[in-house]
Amino acid sequence: MSRRAGRDQIGPMERLVRILICLSDAGPKGVRVRKLLRMADLDDDTEANRAQLRRQLGLLRQGGWNIRNIAPDGEDARYVLDVDDNRLAVLLNPGERAALRQVLREAEADLAAPPEFLGAIQHAVQDRCLLRFTYKGVRRAVHPDALYASQSGWVLVGREDGGRITKEFVAARMSRVRIDDPGSADPPDELGLRSLDPMSFAIDPPVTVTLGVPADFAADVLRLMSGGEVVGTDRGEVIIDRVVTNRAAFRSRLFELGMRVRVLSPPELVSEIVANLRAVAGGADGDLR
């Protein structure tokens, strides 16, 4: 995300948003401290990180959010956002709320280790190779259209030979995988593909967004910002352009990527993202460190 001169405010605001959404979705059962640490990008369960999390929760309380530790004495902390505190639902429209829930689901997901033949599947998608494999005990021939990561691991999207229905196949459940020659598969069914990725939904007027990404994270950004195109490099960053037609889906992917990406342009979209984070943080942003 774009940074201002001086201290960075967007990163801390994003972490507060993720904590709030996590607490809100958990309801009265609350959230254990270790899960909140992950939501706050504090992966190591250390006393220093727990102290930092307590400071973040303190900022949210200062902003008026009613967050309590409901764990009995002597047990690990479990935090709850009072169920009558509904400002988060008011501040977010249904689409934005659904998108942020998806961010949390993906942030918690432990993706299965990719199968050894994942490279062959990628090759089949890129070079239009008919893909043959056994799935649920049935030998199949599939025209591959796309490959994406999900909570179930890597998923192939394609159409079985002789059919027009677009299906999804979890790569980890495939066996006896082999590919035919390049060009042996039919072209992608664009109509079927259009509904697979929310980033492709034509909901808002199209706008070209330019992102700056450290080279080590370029692959992550290109995967989540599907349809992005590398247009150059600048001072160690990879510059990626992506035409955005669904701003809620774009923001959800952006929040998931966090500090791995900066929005360089257009300025009005940068301002919109900052305003959205400030609104959700609900007044706590003035005290961010």
Instruction: Tell me the per-residue pLDDT of 49-79, one tens digit each, with 9 for 90 and over.
Output: 888 888 888 877 766 678 888 888 778 888 9
pLDDT band at 255 (very low <50, low <70, confident <90, very high): confident
- The pair of structure tokens assigned to 28 is 């009265």
In a domain, 1, yes or no: no
Q: What is the pLDDT of residue 192?
A: 44
Q: Which of 137, 171, 193 is the last residue of a domain?
A: 193
70 plus 124 within the same structural domain: no
- The pair of structure tokens assigned to 97 is 């709320």
Is pTM beyond 0.85 here?
A: no
Distance CA 2, CA 259 (A): 9
pLDDT at 195 over 50: no
pLDDT band at 213 (very low <50, low <70, confident <90, very high): very high
pLDDT band at 83 (very low <50, low <70, confident <90, very high): low
Q: Tell me the residue range of the domain where 133 lies.
A: 118-193
Q: Which of 56, 73, 108 is the last residue of a domain?
A: 108
In a domain, 177, yes or no: yes
202 plus 182 within the same structural domain: no
- Mean pLDDT over the full length of the chain: 77
Convert the pLDDT of each residue in 153-194 to its tens digit. 788 888 999 887 878 888 889 999 999 999 999 887 654 444
Query: Can you give the CATH number for the domain in which 66 is found?
Result: 1.10.10
User: Strand 129-135's sheet: what is its strand order?
Assistant: 166-170, 153-160, 138-150, 129-135, 174-182
In a domain, 275, yes or no: yes
pLDDT band at 4 (very low <50, low <70, confident <90, very high): very low
Rounded mean pLDDT, 200-225? 85
User: Strand 67-69's sheet: what is its strand order?
Assistant: 31-32, 78-81, 67-69
Q: Rounded to 5, what percent of the chain is helix, strand, coil?
A: 45, 25, 30
In a domain, 49, yes or no: yes
More confident residue, 137 or 146: 137
Q: What is the pLDDT of residue 34?
A: 86
Q: What is the pLDDT of residue 152?
A: 57
- The pair of structure tokens assigned to 14 is 């994003």
Q: Which of 58, 83, 108 is the last residue of a domain?
A: 108
In a domain, 4, yes or no: no
Least confident of 42-51, 104-113, 221-230: 104-113
Distance CA 271, CA 264 (A): 11
Rounded mean pLDDT, 224-249? 86
Domain count within the chain = 3
Rounded mean pLDDT, 203-220? 88
Residue keyed to tokens 């904590």: 19
State the amino acid at position 237 in one-letter form.
Answer: E
Convert the pLDDT of each residue in 111-140 to its tens digit. 456 688 888 898 898 889 999 999 989 999
Pick the closest to residue 196 from 221, 171, 159 (CA basis). 159
Q: Is the peptide bond before 266 cis (omega within 30 degrees of 0)?
A: yes
Q: What is the pLDDT of residue 220?
A: 79
pLDDT at 207 over 50: yes
pLDDT at 227 over 80: no
Distance CA 234, CA 213 (A): 10
182 plus 96 within the same structural domain: no
Q: What is the pLDDT of residue 100?
A: 55
Rounded mean pLDDT, 92-121? 62
Rounded mean pLDDT, 93-117? 58
